[in-house]
Structure 1
Amino acid sequence: MRSSRMITAVEAHAEGEPGRVITGGLPPIPGRSVFEKMQWMQANADEIRTLMLQEPRGNPALCCNAIVEPCDPSADAGFIIMEQTEYPPMSGSNTICTVTVLLETGILPMVEPVTELTLEAPAGIIRVRAECKDGKVTRVTFRNVPAFAVHLDAEIEVEGHGRARVDVAWGGMFYVIAEAAQFGLDLVPENGAEMVRLCEALRRAAVVQLPVVHPENPAIKGPTISQLTGPAKTGGHHGRSAVTVSNSVAAPPSAMSLPGALDRSPCGTGTSAKMACLHARGLLAPGQDYINEGPIGTTFTGRIEGVTQVGPYPAILPSIAGQAWIYGVSQYTLDPTDPFQAGFRVGDIWG
């Protein structure tokens, strides 16, 4: 076997959303913060992201994480999040996968019944409480970055759908959020293709008509991701979300193509953004749990732990709780004669 690169990764999913975690084989990644490390990787080593996420090693629904040395002295580890078209500053499902891998593989020591640790994400410091039993992480609760609403009930023109009422909010990524009922769409797995097409139409419209910039980091812009919301299907739950991770930032796709993939989980940053909108409307108070369903019925539990201010925006301090499961360990090699040194995409599943 000839190999010019070998990458070791642990395969995991958080409530159904796959989040591959790279534990070895990365080059040195410079930077004075994990955000700078992310920027360096994007500019100088983006082929690692495409190699891991595109075919033949990846698929449209897959996310990936790179464990890196933290820069903040309070952090136990850092991680860089990679998706199909961007490097998100923060992700809930990927945080839960990364914590589970760090503890269950022994990279960081596990303390039962509760391990407390601190991660440095590109978005900042993330405090984590991991419940553990018999060597297994049974629940991860993390304090997310402050979340805030930028626009509530804004109207935009959406291609193929006319006028639509949306919110735009930050939960670790900038989301455009719309109630699915205004489009007559039920958030069930059988409607996945319709949900993806609608989400992408909303994202393309919002990035032009409602562009936003993070007040504390002008390098973060959006909206880059979209979320449909609706009522919960299960008693005792509070709502349901369908988030689409985009596969393409190119021109609008044809009506038959699938330009993104549904987040299989309830989405942690999406739940945080959703809670920020509910709080801004006076519908969710600090200390209240918000159990959010994803498109396949799995749940994350959100809570407003407090309130704060981010630039001109009143903000919440959200926590998110969920569980991840490891399902494999892989070593990925790259033959120097392989014609697909950075992976490839085909329009049958990538749009």
Structure 2
Amino acid sequence: MRWKKTLQVVGVHAEGEIGKVITGGVGKIPGDTVLDKMNYINEVDDSLRRLCVFEPRGALAMSFNLLVPPTRPEAHAGFFIMQADRAHPMSGSNSICVVTALLELGIVPMQEPETTVVLDTAVGLVTARARCNDGRCESVSLEMMPAFVEELDLEIETPDFGKIKVDIAFGGVYYALVDVDQVGMDINAENARRLADLGVKFADIVNEQVKVEHPLYPSINKIAYVMFRNRVADDVYQTCTTLVPGRIDRSPCGTGSSANLATLAARGLADVGSRLVSRSAIGSEFKVEMLGRTEIGGRPAVLPRIEGRGWVFSVEQLGVDPTDPFGTGFMVSDTWGEGFPQG
């Protein structure tokens, strides 16, 4: 083979959501921090993201997690997430994928019955505690960064549903959270296409009408995702995070569940010690716990813990032949749907 680039990639999924982990072959990404490195991909050179995520090597219903050397001494590894639209700073399901790969491939030594792994992300440190047995990472709990609310019950004007109420909250990225009964649908696999298209439209509408900026990381200044939610029992919430260009998160979504927990605490529906379950459209679950309260930039914030499971399903090499006309990937509207770039 005459590949001009070769990447080592581990296939992992967390509760159904694919988060492949790039373990080698990339070289140095410029930047002093993980945030700087992520911004380099987003603002200077996104060829690596395109190569991995776009067809023919990638697909929309997956993320690629790029391992980078940690920039904080207490961390075992740094990473950020590359998706169809851009690189993102944090994801619960992808953190579970990364920890599972680090331990099961021996990049970080596994200790039974529990291994602590500290991840350096673009929005701070994340401490993971993996339950390990017989060489297997059986589950991962994540002590997430502080989650906080920007707005509750904010009215947004939409062309198809008139005014709807959304909560704006940060759980690792910014979310607009929408009670799904406002759009007259249930959260299930059958409605995934329609919810995905609505979520993409709503994200554009909300970003036109709402301005956000993280108090500690000013470059985190956009609502990344719309999450539809539905309370099905006192401690059980259905969640459906929608991602550009128009798909749903197969997992219950860790950062979205953190953002949802922040809104519950702001309404007095959750407190320190509260334990909840987030359930995805395919029925997989994350355990959610409120560990404490804190403050971020003068805003009340909560400290969430998310627990879920990951599974390694492949070890592969990804390459590009110098004669391949699709070395930088391509997009086709049959899979991108409403999110296909215009013009």
| Length-normalised TM-score, structure 2 | 0.96
Partner SS state of residue 243, structure 1: strand
- Provide the residue aligned with 2:66 in structure 1: 66
User: Which of 274, 277, 281 in structure 2 is aligned with 1:288?
Assistant: 274
User: Which of 230, 236, 239 in structure 2 is aligned with 1:238?
Assistant: 236
Paired residue type of 1:135: G
Is 2:249 the counterpart of 1:263? yes
Partner SS state of residue 343, structure 1: coil
Query: CA offset at residue 41 of structure 1?
Result: 3.0
Query: CA offset at residue 83 of structure 1?
Result: 1.2
Contact 1:302 1:321 (C-alpha < 8 Å) held by counterparts: yes
Contact 1:229 1:241 (C-alpha < 8 Å) held by counterparts: yes
Whole-Å Cα distance in 2 between the matches of residues 136 and 283 of structure 1?
36
Whole-Å Cα distance in 2 between the matches of residues 181 and 283 of structure 1?
19
Is 2:274 the counterpart of 1:276? no
- Provide the residue aligned with 1:31 in structure 2: 31
Deviates more, 1:223-232 or 1:10-19: 223-232
Query: CA offset at residue 151 of structure 1?
Result: 0.5
Query: CA offset at residue 266 of structure 1?
Result: 0.2
- Provide the residue aligned with 1:115 in structure 2: 115
User: Any idea what the Cα deviations from partners look like across 1:268-308, whole Å, max 9, x if unmatched?
Assistant: 00000000000000001111111110111100111111111
- Provide the residue aligned with 2:46 in structure 1: 46
Paired residue type of 1:291: V
Contact 1:75 1:117 (C-alpha < 8 Å) held by counterparts: yes
Contact 1:8 1:22 (C-alpha < 8 Å) held by counterparts: yes
Partner SS state of residue 279, structure 1: helix
Whole-Å Cα distance in 1 between the matches of residues 211 and 45 of structure 2?
28
- Provide the residue aligned with 1:315 in structure 2: 301
Paired residue type of 1:22: I
Paired residue type of 1:20: K
Whole-Å Cα distance in 1 between the matches of residues 94 and 159 of structure 2?
31
Partner SS state of residue 218, structure 1: coil
Whole-Å Cα distance in 2 between the matches of residues 159 and 84 of structure 1?
26
Query: CA offset at residue 31 of structure 1?
Result: 2.1
Deviates more, 1:193-202 or 1:320-329: 193-202
Is 2:300 the counterpart of 1:302? no
Once the two structures are superposed, the pairs formed by residues 1-16 of structure 1 within 5 Å of their partners are 1-16=1-16
Partner SS state of residue 218, structure 2: strand
Contact 1:169 1:273 (C-alpha < 8 Å) held by counterparts: yes
Paired residue type of 2:106: G
Deviates more, 1:83-92 or 1:12-21: 83-92
User: Which of 311, 316, 319 in structure 2 is aligned with 1:330?
Assistant: 316
User: Any idea what the Cα deviations from partners look like across 1:119-175, whole Å, max 9, x if unmatched?
Assistant: 101111111110000111011011111000101001011132211011000000100
Name the Cα RMSD after superposition.
1.2
Paired residue type of 1:73: P
Query: CA offset at residue 44 of structure 1?
Result: 4.2
- Provide the residue aligned with 2:106 in structure 1: 106
Paired residue type of 1:304: M
Is 2:133 the counterpart of 1:147? no
Decide whether aligned partners of structure 1 residues 223 and 309 sit closer, same or farther in structure 2, where only a CA change above 3 A counts: same
- Provide the residue aligned with 1:255 in structure 2: none
Deviates more, 1:41-50 or 1:69-78: 41-50
Contact 2:54 2:60 (C-alpha < 8 Å) held by counterparts: yes
User: Any idea what the Cα deviations from partners look like across 1:165-187, whole Å, max 9, x if unmatched?
Assistant: 11000000100011001211100
Whole-Å Cα distance in 1 between the matches of residues 248 and 41 of structure 2?
25
- Any stretches of 5+ residues in structure 2 without a counterpart? 338-343
Number of residue-to-residue matches in the alignment = 337
Whole-Å Cα distance in 2 between the matches of residues 278 and 327 of structure 1?
35
Query: CA offset at residue 197 of structure 1?
Result: 1.6
User: Which of 324, 334, 339 in structure 1 is aligned with 2:325?
Assistant: 339
Whole-Å Cα distance in 2 between the matches of residues 84 and 311 of structure 1?
31
Partner SS state of residue 212, structure 1: coil
- Any stretches of 5+ residues in structure 1 without a counterpart? 248-259
- Percent identical residues: 41
Partner SS state of residue 220, structure 2: strand
